[in-house]
Amino acid sequence: MSIMTIPRTILRFQYQFVRVPLQLIEERVVSRMDAEAPARLAYERSLGVLDATVGNALGDARLKRRGASLAKRSDELARAARLEAAANEELRQADEELKSSRQDVVDEVQDARAAKDQAVEDAEAAAQKRKRAATEAAQKRAGATKKEADDIAARLKSSAEAAKRNDEQRIDAAQKRATDAADETIDDAKARRDEAAKKRADADRLEQLAEVEKEKRQAERAAKP
């Protein structure tokens, strides 16, 4: 027999009879669970669907609205919990990627500095060697002066310093690229966590509305002779 074919008075009585143990379970067991516990959300959603269905059958707009609000609140809380878990996981992954990126930058910087130092040493050694060779050649040439040899050495040293500056600029650019990429990943994960917090706030408002409806209904039942 369809639920819509049962006389409303009988259905109302049967529903009140069934609702009593469910109310006891809600007050003594479910209410002690964490607000976002999966078991509590599943129970409250089922209860909300039941209230909405019976409220629709009885033509009880308040019961229907309360049930729909409870079911929607449970869905929103579950969604918020999933979003928060996903955001936290992304933050964790972003932290790991940031640490890995920083280590890569450190390794790259160390390698670049080692290569730079070696290049500078090689350039200076070559400059000294060429200076000596130039000095010897200049001394052998008629009218050669020490100043000419010093000028050659100065030009070689200037070239080595220019190469050193280029290496430092390349290292700085690599550090900036790695840091910018890590910051962008963390900002995106934080935005997802903020969205989850907003969903949680909406669910809390629905909970407050459902609680007000519940208290009104209890007061009406208590006022009946």
Q: How confident is the model at residue 144 (pLDDT cuts 50, 70, 90)?
A: low
% of the chain at pLDDT higher than 90: 0
The two structure tokens encoding residue 164: 């050193």
Task: Work out the pLDDT band at 27, boundaries 50, 70, 90.
Answer: low
Give the amino acid at 60. Answer: D
**98-124 mean pLDDT:** 79
Count of domains for the chain = 1
Which letter does DSSP use for residue 10 in this model? H
pTM: 0.37
Stated length of the chain:
225
Distance spanning both ends of the chain, measured CA to CA:
33
- In Å, how far are 20, 60, 134, 204, 212 from 66, measured between CA atoms? 17, 10, 97, 14, 9
For residue 137, give every residue at least 6 positions away whose Cβ sits within 8 Å of its Cβ, in sequence order, or none. Answer: 144
| pLDDT for the residue 197 | 86
Round to whole Å and give the CA distance between 121 and 56.
87
> What pLDDT does residue 1 have?
45
Percent of the chain residues topping a pLDDT of 70: 83
Q: Is the pLDDT of residue 211 over 70?
A: yes
Domain that holds residue 89: 3-223
The average pLDDT across 137-160 equals 74
